[in-house]
Amino acid sequence: MRNLSFARLLAGPPIAAALCFATLTLRGQQSATQAQDQSGYRISVNTNIVLTNVVVRDKKTGAVVKGLKESDFTILENGKPQKLASFDFQTVDDAAVLAEKNTVSGKATIADLLERNMAANPQQLRDHRLIVFFFDLSSMQDEDVDRAVDSAQKYVREQMQPADLVALVSLGTGLRMDQDFTADKPSLLRGLEAYNGSNSDGFGAGTTGTAEGTSDDASSFVTDDTEYNNLNTDRELFAIRQIAQSLERVDQHKSMLYFSGGLSRNGIENQASLRAATNEAAKANMAIYSVDTRGLQAINPVGDASSGSLRGTSAYNGAATQSAFNSNFTSQETLATLSADTGGKAFFDSNDFGPAFQQVQRDTEAYYILGFHSTDQRRDGTYRHLTIKLNRSDAKLEYRPGYYGPADFQHQKTEDRELALTEQMRSDLPATDVSLYLQALYFRQGDGAHDNLFFIPVSVIVPGSQIPFVKNGDSARGKETDKASLDILGQVRNGQGIAVGNIRDTVKLALDQSQQVQRKNIQYSTGFSLAPGHYHLKFVVRENQTGNMGSFETDLNVPDWKKTPLKLSSVVMASQRTPNTAKNTRNPLVRDGQEFVPNVAHIFRQDQHLYFLYELYDPSKQKNAPDPAASPGLGRREGGPVHVLTSIEFLSGGSKVYETPLVTADAINDPTRGAVSFQFDIPLAQLKPGSYICQVNVIDDAGGSFTFPRMALRIAGSAASPPSLSPGQ
């Protein structure tokens, strides 16, 4: 649950020491670029080439026309002629029989697919058909899977030719490559047999929040699973995109036979995912042949024996029938779009899937590959129409109608930007273009009767030097400011991998030149309410000038204190406190109208103050002693007063160099959480610059328990003078 979020500009030294390799690597790259600029030259290489397949057939006989030359073709993009940069002709008649050792076999995992190992030597694949059988098990019922597998097995046994190389990929609970490209029929048959009897892993078609036309099965409410359908559709389109990316470096034409039980799209909700999938398929030179495995369906206006009677009057006025037809059409429309936009074909309303395999073989028996560098240098992501002409009139051409042009971040649409953030959140590979660091703390949210809920303050730090600010304002009047914005996406997952907390925010920054952003850090703060347990936090930050992103993830253990004798919160170390007059806030960092701003990097200056904040919950009381504070607001237990002692030590080189005076607490001073709260204010001018180990001593004298948590920190010189490090550092 989200409680608060905001961003601050923190004064102080940059956090290069805390960010270690990520920051150092980035600075190294920047230095190399600067050195190159100073030398007076710059090398820029554009390797983007647009490939499209062209099948040329005789108008009368339908036979493939061979022997054409590059000069016979003219290609236009949005009506403008393009110069051909590459030309090739491939035919399965010239395919060499590959030994099994030359096909890419071995580990069949999604890791291989993403590492682009599906074709170890692309030249060996020349003049071969590359066909991917993609079984979307998440959308198919058992009988749909059986039909798809039977048709694929029939193709392997009876239709598969020596030039055909087939790969098996499936989507169930996850995307898997079950068999890499191979011509070995027994291996393919074994892989196909594994799909028989698979259960559906997806979500049903469901309803959209109305009882009209739904089964009357005595349920108390009607679920609205539109959101589930949207997420499932995005997941399937993302899988297609990943497969296309894995085949991008193979120039040959690829064909995907996509076996699906329908793919529903809700308005524009999945538009970005659909566009990304078709664009990646076009870049990979892959045509999608969609097969609706539900086959020929008979739609009964009053339903069938698999569901109860319909509510309302829909069954009698034709609305139920129309709704069923609309639902069926919607689930097929997305499949048809995938095929049309990639140069493939869709096969619906038939129990015979053989024509789909025949069409793939027919379209790839012989084809020309035309490549060109587009003269349109705009990176606006718009759709570009292709027109291909031949200098003879007795032939007809088959090719895909166009592609989406490249888009830089400034030209991306809102939904594309959101998709990029979401994909980075899903990715196992971290983003390092923007350095960031994250710190998560924990404080008990309630008293002893509700100690199973904790508030988790989270702080994310981004160095200001990595944010490109844009000038904005009236420079003539001296009011010019630097403006920038950050997109922030955060997620908390429990031990089972289920998301239990989400953050999505956009932070706008406006700074004048006097603030010297290069010497400051941007800190974003938010919070979650969590129960005890093990969690995984991940945050993705994107600056919205270049679109660069950075990510950080860490594990968090929220303690279970049922059998712990001493219950201590996280220790907050801060160098700033900001005004916060909000009433009834549950943020434990707010005290007396001031909010502690955690110093994530633990780097301080001599001219600053070091503030400490921590809490001890449910301290023990002395036995057989009078309770001088017997009022209801000072504790829940009966008996003697609490007796807690605490101090803070600074250690350098194993020796104590400073210790605060001992503080004693004899009563609970925060009854809302049943806590003894401690605050310290330590001027750092009395300490020399250098690195220290800070030890917090907490002793529950009445209960006979104690703890001594330690933290590392660094003290730099004041802002007016360069840091002078102590000997041995």
Per-residue pLDDT at 397 exceeds 70: yes
If you compute the radius of gyration of the chain from its CA atoms, what whole number of angstroms results? 33
- Contact present, 482 and 470 (Cβ < 8 Å): yes
pLDDT greater at residue 570 or residue 631: 570
DSSP 20: H
Per-residue pLDDT at 493 exceeds 50: yes
Measure the CA–CA gap between 652 and 637, rounded to whole angstroms.
Answer: 41
pLDDT for 200 equals 41
Instruction: Spell out the domains of the chain, with CATH numbers in brackets.
Output: 1-32+424-557 (2.60.40.10), 50-210+221-404 (3.40.50.410), 564-729 (2.60.40.3880)
State the CB neighbour count (10 A cutoff) for residue 50.
21
**54-63, 119-128, 176-185, 245-254, range with the lowest pLDDT:** 119-128
Q: Is the dihedral of CA 138, 140, 146, 149 positive or negative?
A: negative
Spell out a b/e string for 566-592, using b for 16 or more CB atoms within 10 Å of the CB, else e. bbbbbbbbbbbbeebeeeeebbbbbbe
Task: Give 221-237 pLDDT, tens digit per residue.
Answer: 333 344 445 567 778 88
Highest mean pLDDT: which range of 105-119, 261-275, 477-491, 659-673: 659-673
pLDDT greater at residue 271 or residue 317: 271
**CA 212 vs CA 115, 208, 311: distances in Å:** 48, 10, 6
Q: Nearest CA to 550 among 421, 378, 652, 685?
A: 421
pLDDT for 611 equals 95
DSSP 170: E
- Contact present, 575 and 714 (Cβ < 8 Å): no
Say which residue the tokens 């990639």 belong to.
342
Task: Give 594-605 pLDDT, tens digit per residue.
Answer: 899 999 888 899
**197-201, 445-449, 464-468, 575-579, range with the lowest pLDDT:** 197-201
Query: Which two tokens mark 323?
Result: 């709704």
- Contact present, 436 and 550 (Cβ < 8 Å): yes
706 in helix, strand or coil?
A: strand
Highest mean pLDDT: which range of 119-128, 275-284, 316-325: 275-284
The model's pTM is 0.55
Query: Which two tokens mark 42?
Result: 């710059």
360 in helix, strand or coil?
A: helix
SS3 per-residue string spanning 260-280: ECCCCCCCCCCHHHHHHHHHH
